[in-house]
Structure 1
């Protein structure tokens, strides 16, 4: 008993260092007694713990040391060390490894080896809390590590100090090239003179590791596949090793296999190695065929350049080059098609009859003006006889039919258990948040005790530090505050009075925080209504008018009052389409809030411009130049004007966003204004061109929500869409453009003007815009793409004496292609004037071809 009293006191005083020393002096019986009493002490400490602090976690180190030194089996120790309640994942890496090792130092070797294996298998991520202890024990015991991918990822996540002497090197290095997650853990390693790149290269130079092991390991990893991120380190390692021509020659087949489907950086690496090596004609044909089938433009260009150089050096290769060139005629990029045509014409004489025939047949895959050019040249220049002139067989598909209506949002959780399950699998979407908030309010009113019991485990596992911040700038902080107040903890009462951020915030962000904060306040004051009004019924963010009226009826029947921000958000979510049934029912409401709602839902249609769901705000978008971070740049300046409604948060939403205003949950903003598309876009515009590393940027998911919203679409919507069309990392923007075109809601002229401005301002690149528009046109949006391109060209074409932008010839070529698909006619003055200039550059040729197509004539060439 005296041993336990001493141990208990040291645990309660959190004297882990003294505790470790004392445990090492205990005999077997004393250790058994401590092990028996530890669970009871843990339960007692948990009961004392205030859920607003982390006192139990602060006892964690002492508890871990006590359990490690006294529990009997290795399995029991492994489980004890990483209990969630006193060693949660968020608490950071272990800082007590030396203490744990000290108290188990006298255990049998087999026992420690068993613990090492168990701890290794428990790891799940490279930065797992138990990773350091597992790796240290594996090194000390010398036991072979179990085959476990996270262990390898954790090993390479540490700095490679004294790697040559690391006992784990022989075991884990071969697994490095196979373990999932290892490449991702090493993705930041790119400097050849430091870190793992330098360490492995150094081992190869000294002979500690065979070069062949590393080179073959990289190739094996490439052939196993993976994303560019997963393989980035191995690309850098391969290049740092710089395989010799002899090493490449012995692995030619492996490098050729990488060309077809490997991520771009891997395929680029293979091209670089193979181009410097003598390949047979069959191998060259295979390589070119693979590259010219790729979607990445840089690889297709590399393939065309390799083909051109090889055939110029050895014209006999023109015959095997014909088939790959014909494949390139089907490239999605008109620019690449044009380059393939140029090479086909340049090498046609050496192709032979069969090769020329193959190219001529494939000309039908080209854009119309390129097909005509290729067919004419082959017929007239190479005696192809009276073969029929191929017409373009590619016809863009029709636009997809827009979906009828909008999908409904799943209802909020109907029980405390469902709410706990939603917490378990929630994501960062506004849909999850809305369902979570609505379910919490309804269940808190219906059965407070059951809800508190269901959420208690989450209170125990939630870290306390976010709730000690001076202000709460995340909605989940307010929700957890409400959960804690619901459980009558009491130490956070009145938080809503002082924790609301006082700095300038974007209006949609303010609305979200006020909605979350007023739930906490209502819990503390016991004024929660039986149901929230603003919970969306549809995936667009709308609340059906009839459903909203029904919720207000429930609130009135309970003698309650709706929450203020919740009511204002509900009004902003009313659809524009009138609902006669809802208009009839709303007139029977008797409360003041019911009267406000009745003013927004009127018989015979939406309400007037001043008070209705269709409040018509005017949005203007200007641009200003400023110096940011030592560099001149552009800044969008949206201006929103609307008549006041008398509702403070609603009026705030129809006020122009301030420059530099704090933003949060920006992905949720379109759902706060689903009937006011242009206003929502105006709030997002300032965050589409922000450069600071911590600025929350609008993302492509907002584009989708804006497309599906209601209301006019103007300059703000167009600027946001144009910005993300030019982002190669945002293919969703192309999806949005196609969907908007199908819905006939695309302001094409304005989008083109915004593209022109963004390009001339240096914010986006012509090549990226052209790639996105090309893809959209081939998916059926060719008519919209033509109107966009026609509106952009006046700003993009260079003035006399001005240097044209990179990729502009390809953009003009794309414009000609979609104009041909649409049968577009009509002169564009800027195109006409440039077509009349002197010169024979590629850009001028494309401009003249476009002018001829639009006017049915021949451009005057200077």
Structure 2
């Protein structure tokens, strides 16, 4: 019987189900024949497809079935099943596990167990291609799985259906808390009714797994360490199990070990459990252990944990006054907190528990007084230094403002060869500097050696797809440059792409200018009207074009008898510095072309920018106090400028009030380097969060704006306030200090916009406090005070209104920086609130600030 002929025919027809039946029925001789012929067939099939084609993948299922049934040794089968050419990198999970398992079912149990172990040890990640088959074989054979972390991660990477009856449960459940990678797989699980979280809770409820064992496993996992993402699932599981205080007492010392250095959520969990069981005999926690716990918490960087640690310490001492003798060292730690609010609270507790400290404790506090700002230091010194304030005067003083980095540097030199240009075009561009350099290199080198550039680009383009010509529009500048290269090499499938592929719908003006500049290069290539060079290529890292260099470029174009490209000329004018260059102006007056006349007559336009906050249909700033999150919140800019008569220039100096299709936002400041506020106004529709986790404007844009020229007002302030209030953007503090060092910070506008952002819920107050606190500690205290002073009238609640979360901390920070810079002069809203009745923490902070400002009324610090 022709075994191989039948098998080959079924492989060619890709009949995997029928092939499985045939292979299972083969005798030993038939298996040997098929095994011997399979490599040659694989080579033949591979030769039918181009190396870029994935056609061989269509035969992967039948080839795997054939090899599983015909090859003899477990090692050979394992290698054959998971050959790289059977599944490319982008392939999904195997969908033929049932067929392969059926083919392998007749093999001896020991052989299948050997194969299962080999497949397990080949695994490297949780979604490895062999995971499903390995798990199936382990369940069928009942063999104990080898200790391999990716297997455990792969096990949990699948939905836990019928987990209670899973033969692997007893083997793998204990390793769930030890294996590397499990936490990353499960990190997004949060619903205790579904997924692994729900399944484990069901096991505990049915007593299939002990609650105590699961909770102990979580604690064991915490002690092994890991990142927040790796431990997130185990924190949720532990909290869902909710051990009682008596159960937590058994792990009290473990929780204590977790406090100093564990990720925040783990430390918070440990603190919560320790507080609950600290007084139980089984916890076996001594007074020194409590002091160690407090000291660990008060040394943490997370303000939430420090705040909770202070509260725990205070409650414990009030309940057991004898503990007051142990609080000196923890409170001294808190004197060094990076938050004025926390320092204030630590001093308050030190004063409250002063009488219960021994002399050694008081000495510890005295030594730490120098870490406090002066007002708090004086308060502490009066109690702990025997009234000798001068003797214990705090040594802390804010440092001077750091010098600003260089505003502008020269850009990279031009591209000098077709080979360099080809390499950069293949790699693509990711920044405006790279884009401008490649665009300029393409134009200049094409004018110098059109044939050579075409030859260099041809080999790349001939392998590239032309699908983009079927798109409705080209909305990326790189698509237009690619199209220009195709036109240059005569590989474009159509001509006149600019007539139908340039988007006609609403685009943000800077994005439209980008596309026009790229599209006109494509058109000039087709019509053979490329000038010898571009005008708008920046000479400096801010995006500016030096006036003298722009005149030289126009001189070259005039000498060649060419005409500059229209959008390129208009972008070049927008990139001229604000400061006139008399020598360049004199040379420009001698130019004879129309473009030369434009340059000679050009003066930097002045543009007025106004910014309005809108909230639903009401509009206006006064609506923020309702703190409603059901309205549409927007930042609407308007521009006032005298028209220049140049369409793209006028488009750029006006601003679109609403959000439009846009891209490359970080490039926009370089397109308006002499009009910082206009560039910021263009960014306004993209500053506020629109969808979950969308932060389209960040520190990169803010830094580019900071180094641009021109007035800085409400629009720039809104961008800077937004990034300062994002905890994921700590580098924004550097931007604030840089602008302040150049004496260009619009502090009052920044404070007002920051206040409106916080009032609108777009920025969390605690996050902005952290950023301003950091800026003040690095020398920006005077500027931070001006920011805070402008924000307070927006943030302070009207009578009867509930204060916003974090406002006490903001007022405390304001009081600290006001003291550092000796600020004087009443703020009416602060004065009025200080006169209200009550003794809340917020009112006390407001009164301290008012006392500071009124200390020398009429003088400004």
TM-score with structure 1 setting the length? 0.81
Q: Which residue of 2 aligns with 1:331?
A: 337
Map Cα deviations across residues 702-748 of structure 1 (whole Å, 9 max, x no partner): 22222222222111011121223233333232222122212222100
Counterpart Cα distance in 1 of 2:457 and 2:560: 20
Equivalent residue runs for 1:164-313 within 5 Å? 164-166=164-166, 169=169, 173=173, 176-178=176-178, 181-206=181-206, 208-209=208-209, 211=211, 214-278=214-278, 279-313=285-319
2:367 paired with 1:365: no
SS class of match (1:46)? coil
Q: Which residue of 1 aligns with 2:616?
A: 626
Map Cα deviations across residues 481-536 of structure 1 (whole Å, 9 max, x no partner): 66777786655766554444443222223334445555666677777777666555
Q: Which residue of 1 aligns with 2:395?
A: 393
SS class of match (2:50)? helix
Counterpart Cα distance in 2 of 1:330 and 1:821: 16
Counterpart Cα distance in 1 of 2:742 and 2:190: 46
Equivalent residue runs for 1:537-616 within 5 Å? 538-543=540-545, 565-576=567-578, 596=595, 599-600=598-599, 608-609=602-603, 614-616=604-606
Q: Which residue of 2 aligns with 1:677?
A: 676
- When structure 1 is superposed on structure 2, of 419-428 and 834-843 the one drifting more is 419-428
Counterpart Cα distance in 2 of 1:288 and 1:596: 73
- When structure 1 is superposed on structure 2, of 570-579 and 438-447 the one drifting more is 438-447
CA contact (8 A) 2:11 2:63 kept: no
RMSD across aligned positions (CA): 4.6
Q: Which residue of 1 aligns with 2:61?
A: 65
Deviation at 1:306, TM superposition (A): 0.6
- 5+ unaligned residues in a row in structure 2: which ranges? 279-284, 619-627
Q: Which residue of 1 aligns with 2:160?
A: 160
Q: 1:132 to 1:361 in 2, by over 3 A?
A: same
Counterpart Cα distance in 1 of 2:522 and 2:107: 52
Q: 1:588 to 1:391 in 2, by over 3 A?
A: same
How many residue pairs match? The answer is: 827
Q: 1:799 to 1:203 in 2, by over 3 A?
A: closer
- When structure 1 is superposed on structure 2, of 392-401 and 412-421 the one drifting more is 412-421
CA contact (8 A) 1:718 1:751 kept: yes
Counterpart Cα distance in 1 of 2:258 and 2:340: 26
TM-score with structure 2 setting the length? 0.82
Q: 1:238 to 1:790 in 2, by over 3 A?
A: same
Q: Which residue of 2 aligns with 1:87?
A: 88
Q: 1:140 to 1:665 in 2, by over 3 A?
A: farther
Equivalent residue runs for 1:423-438 within 5 Å? 429-431=431-433
Deviation at 1:777, TM superposition (A): 0.4
Deviation at 1:447, TM superposition (A): 3.6
Q: Which residue of 2 aligns with 1:814?
A: 813
Counterpart Cα distance in 1 of 2:486 and 2:38: 34
Counterpart Cα distance in 1 of 2:851 and 2:444: 67
Map Cα deviations across residues 115-148 of structure 1 (whole Å, 9 max, x no partner): 8788778877656777656766776787887877
Deviation at 1:303, TM superposition (A): 0.1
* 1:354 aligns with one of 360, 365, 370: 360
Equivalent residue runs for 1:772-783 within 5 Å? 772-783=771-782
CA contact (8 A) 2:473 2:500 kept: yes
CA contact (8 A) 1:67 1:80 kept: no
Equivalent residue runs for 1:721-800 within 5 Å? 721-800=720-799
CA contact (8 A) 2:496 2:523 kept: yes
CA contact (8 A) 2:461 2:491 kept: no
Q: Which residue of 2 aligns with 1:53?
A: none
- 5+ unaligned residues in a row in structure 1: which ranges? 50-55
Counterpart Cα distance in 2 of 1:580 and 1:124: 67
Counterpart Cα distance in 2 of 1:368 and 1:133: 69
Structure number with greater Rg is 2
Deviation at 1:850, TM superposition (A): 2.5
Counterpart Cα distance in 1 of 2:662 and 2:5: 53
